[in-house]
Amino acid sequence: GFKYHYDILYNPQAKFWLIVTFPTSMRLDISFVYNKEAASEDLKNVSFVFISVFIFYLLLLGLLAFIFSKITSIHIIKPLKMLKEGTKALREGDYSARVSMNLKNEFAELQDTFNEMAEKIETEIKLREQSEAERKKIIMDISHDLKNPLAIVVGYTELCLKKAESLDKELHNYLQIIFKNSKRAGALLNDLFEFSKLESSEFSMKFHKTDICEYLRQACGDILPMIEQAGFEYSFDIPEKAVYVMLDVSQMNRVLFNLAENAIRYNQSGTSLSVILYDDKTNVIIYFSDDGIGIPSHLSKNIFKPFVRIDDSRNSQTGGTGLGLSIAYKIIKSHGGDMELKTDLNKGCTYIITLPKI
């Protein structure tokens, strides 16, 4: 290494050398060579110089470390942190997130790439949402517009059937087929309209503070005639007390009607149906059960999706649209609640509806 000569002038007879080595690494080697015959005063002076150089070296290292940490923070850590926050925002669905680092290095290129990617994602999401909204509106408009002419077809077909005495048997059968399928198409259009309406951003529930126990007693009374007509056995277990929830009564009527209609459509006479309300600490839980044919348990998670059919032939025979349970599920979700199905083949179905109390 390089040698720096230090000459002690206090005593011409004593000479000291402070040898300092500066390699290319951060290591600093210091050697101290002295004359044994030197005076103690000279040793003290050289010791002072040695300690001063050592302290200066430590201070210099600390200063360099501080400056290096600041530079690293500004040019590396801070940009990485900003990129991390931007990525987290994108992951959580904030597609308007952008990164601005005001740098002119590789991070600036990374910033531009990130922002371009975020902008493309945001544009694609907006286009998809716009397309989905337009699709839902078209479906809702078409289903609404087709309801009236289809109702006319059903009405005139029914009128023809009532006056079918003068018609031959074959023509009578044709009219029966037209009437049956027209009614089914009308039910499908009605459900499609209701489903699209629930998904529309313009639709809102009309909530009112409601005693769910009193409401459920009345609702069970409303569906009782159709249950008795189907030859079902039934039982209702509803507490005799007031428990309040925020409820859109007309929409909840639709939920209970759909569940009852489903049970009647797919099960035989003699099936048992029960409605039980359980008052939890923060929720009310409604169990709507039957002991009918049920469905395979592995299909219960998908049963609330639109147009999910357990058996196509079964739906064509019974006239199901594949939307009733989807509508019921969306209504319960709009109430801030949840709905699930516990079932297995030949073991019946239990729909569990959870609603938050107030």
- Same domain? For 213 and 189 the reply is no
The more confidently predicted of residues 12 and 94 is 94
What value does the mean pLDDT take over residues 277-292? Answer: 95
This model's pTM is above 0.85: no
pLDDT of residue 357: 96
Closest listed residue to residue 9, CA positions, set 39, 31, 32, 50: 39
- Same domain? For 52 and 172 the reply is no
pLDDT of residue 309: 65
- Same domain? For 181 and 278 the reply is no
- Same domain? For 327 and 308 the reply is yes
The more confidently predicted of residues 176 and 219 is 219
Distance CA 172, CA 160 (A): 9
Average pLDDT over the chain, rounded to an integer: 81
- Same domain? For 281 and 329 the reply is yes
pLDDT of residue 43: 64
What value does the mean pLDDT take over residues 227-241? Answer: 96
- Same domain? For 247 and 314 the reply is yes
- Same domain? For 340 and 258 the reply is yes
pLDDT of residue 184: 78
- Same domain? For 237 and 192 the reply is no
What value does the mean pLDDT take over residues 322-338? Answer: 92
- Same domain? For 349 and 224 the reply is yes
What value does the mean pLDDT take over residues 294-300? Answer: 84
pLDDT of residue 351: 96
What value does the mean pLDDT take over residues 300-319? Answer: 68
What value does the mean pLDDT take over residues 266-293? Answer: 95
Provide, rounded to the nearest whole percent, the portion of the chain with pLDDT above 70. 81
Q: What CATH number is attached to the domain comprising 294?
A: 3.30.565.10
The more confidently predicted of residues 232 and 197 is 232
User: What pLDDT digit, counting tens, does each position of 148-175 carry?
Assistant: 777 777 887 887 777 766 667 777 787 8
Q: What CATH number is attached to the domain comprising 168?
A: 1.10.287
Residue 54 has which token pair?
């050592």
Work out the burial of residue 355: count CB atoms within 10 Å of its CB; fewer than 13 is exposed, 13-18 middle, 19 or more buried.
buried
pLDDT at 202 over 80: no
pLDDT at 232 over 70: yes
Q: Which domain holds residue 44?
A: 17-89
pLDDT of residue 176: 81
What value does the mean pLDDT take over residues 29-36? Answer: 57
pLDDT of residue 313: 47
pLDDT at 220 over 80: yes
Distance CA 30, CA 19 (A): 6
- Same domain? For 140 and 76 the reply is no
pLDDT of residue 322: 77
pLDDT of residue 7: 43
pLDDT of residue 4: 43
Residue 197 has which token pair?
């309406």
Domain count for the chain, please give it: 3
pLDDT of residue 310: 64
- Same domain? For 192 and 224 the reply is no
pLDDT at 336 over 90: yes
Provide, rounded to the nearest whole percent, the portion of the chain with pLDDT above 90. 32
Task: Return the minimum-mean-pLDDT range out of 65-79, 133-147, 304-318.
Answer: 304-318
Residue 123 is assigned to a structural domain of this protein: no
Residue 200 has which token pair?
């529309």
